[in-house]
């Protein structure tokens, strides 16, 4: 992982996967998704980790699900976030099809993600059936964040974005998933769209932090899609609280810009570049000679 420093040159210690694990029971974990350098730089001041989520496919690229997202796309955005963040752990999602085939395929792709982005961990979806892969990666030096409950990459099997654990007969299987990924060596686990009593039960039962997204304040930490909580998304899930209304502010700014362009009130003098002094004097002399000869041409049109 590349070294980071403040503008004054003092080194900044970036958080690592064990630092996140150590926060369980000590301090709530704050996290958000981020897909570009400038939002990463802002969120970096407040977040313990930033997730380059495959949700970028829907948020940034207009896909209907996360399934079309490619490894190259994740790496491109991962590089940007690592450049923008200085202290937060950066976790990059493994996209659909990049890790399910076998542990060795998962390692090859996860190693590529870490080498090319310089991130500190990867995240993959799945419980018991992914335990072997998680163990394989961790033993070979790749920290893994697990993800259970609602797993968006399995949307075509689940039949929609449906909350999990709302019926007690579902609990045993989901709890088994949580224990399996923890025992396999995951340093934390995302619980998505999960009934509060089950999320609380899992949080108390496993030694690694639970990161909730629609799984209640009972979890050890929280994550939201940044664009959702900023009011940039047209539709958001029930569990999202909009902490800002940036979408309206952006539209207001663009409308103001368009109006001034149409009225020719932008750009004004303070937004333009004056001639350099020597060049300006020469230009005036040429204009003066041209005018005295009576061949100045048509006068410039004036706004009325």
Residue 201 has pLDDT above 50, yes or no: yes
Identify whether 58 is preceded by a cis peptide bond (ω within 30 of 0).
Answer: no
Q: State mean pLDDT over 236-240.
A: 89
CA angle 120, 239, 29 (to 5 degrees): 35
DSSP H helix total and E strand total for the chain:
12, 8
Q: State mean pLDDT over 105-122.
A: 98
Q: State mean pLDDT over 260-268.
A: 96
The rounded radius of gyration (Å) of the Cα atoms in the chain is 26
- pLDDT for 1: 47
Q: Under DSSP, is residue 227 helix (H, G, I), strand (E, B) or coil?
A: helix
pLDDT band per the 50, 70, 90 thresholds, residue 23: very high
What percentage of the chain exceeds 90 in pLDDT?
78
113: closest CA among 164, 163, 69? 69
Bridge-based pairing state of the strands 89-93 and 210-213: unpaired
pLDDT band per the 50, 70, 90 thresholds, residue 34: very high
Q: State mean pLDDT over 194-209.
A: 97
Q: Which of these ranges, 212-221, 246-255, 277-286, has the smallest mean pLDDT?
A: 277-286
- State which H helix or E strand residue 147 sits in: strand 144-149
pLDDT band per the 50, 70, 90 thresholds, residue 300: very low
Beta bridge partners of 214: none
Query: Residue 171: which residues within 8 A CB-CB, separation 6 or more?
Result: 165, 198, 201
Residue 133 has pLDDT above 50, yes or no: yes
Residue 297 has pLDDT above 90, yes or no: no
Q: State the catalytic residues.
A: 192
Averaged pLDDT of the chain: 90
The model carries a pTM of 0.86
Q: Which of these ranges, 14-28, 38-52, 125-139, 142-156, has the smallest mean pLDDT?
A: 142-156
């Amino acid at each position: 992982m590349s070294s980071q420093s403040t503008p004054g040159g003092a080194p900044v210690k970036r958080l690592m996967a064990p630092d996140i694990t150590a926060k369980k029971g000590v301090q709530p974990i704050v996290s958000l998704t981020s897909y570009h350098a400038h939002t990463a730089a802002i969120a970096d001041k407040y977040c313990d980790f930033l997730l380059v989520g495959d949700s970028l496919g829907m948020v940034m690229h207009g896909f209907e699900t996360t399934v079309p997202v490619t490894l190259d796309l994740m790496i491109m955005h991962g590089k940007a976030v690592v450049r923008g963040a200085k202290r937060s752990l950066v976790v990059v999602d493994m996209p659909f099809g990049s890790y399910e085939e076998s542990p060795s395929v998962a390692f090859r792709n996860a190693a590529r993600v870490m080498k090319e982005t310089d991130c500190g961990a990867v995240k993959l979806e799945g419980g018991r059936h992914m335990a072997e892969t998680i163990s394989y990666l961790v033993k070979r030096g790749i920290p893994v964040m697990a993800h259970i409950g609602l797993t968006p990459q399995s949307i075509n099997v689940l039949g929609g974005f449906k909350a999990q654990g709302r019926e007690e007969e579902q609990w045993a299987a989901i709890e088994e998933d949580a224990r399996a990924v923890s025992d396999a060596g995951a340093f934390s686990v995302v619980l998505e769209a999960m009934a509060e009593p089950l999320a609380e039960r899992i949080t108390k039962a496993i030694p690694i932090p639970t990161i909730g997204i629609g799984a209640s304040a009972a979890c050890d930490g929280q994550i939201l899609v940044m664009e959702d909580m900023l009011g940039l998304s047209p539709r958001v899930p029930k569990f999202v609280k909009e902490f800002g209304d940036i979408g309206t502010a952006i539209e207001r700014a663009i409308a103001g810009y368009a109006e001034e362009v149409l009225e020719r009130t932008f750009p004004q003098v303070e937004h333009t570049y004056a001639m350099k002094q020597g060049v300006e004097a020469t230009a005036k002399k040429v204009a003066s000679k041209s005018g005295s000869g009576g061949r100045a041409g048509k006068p410039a049109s004036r706004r009325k």
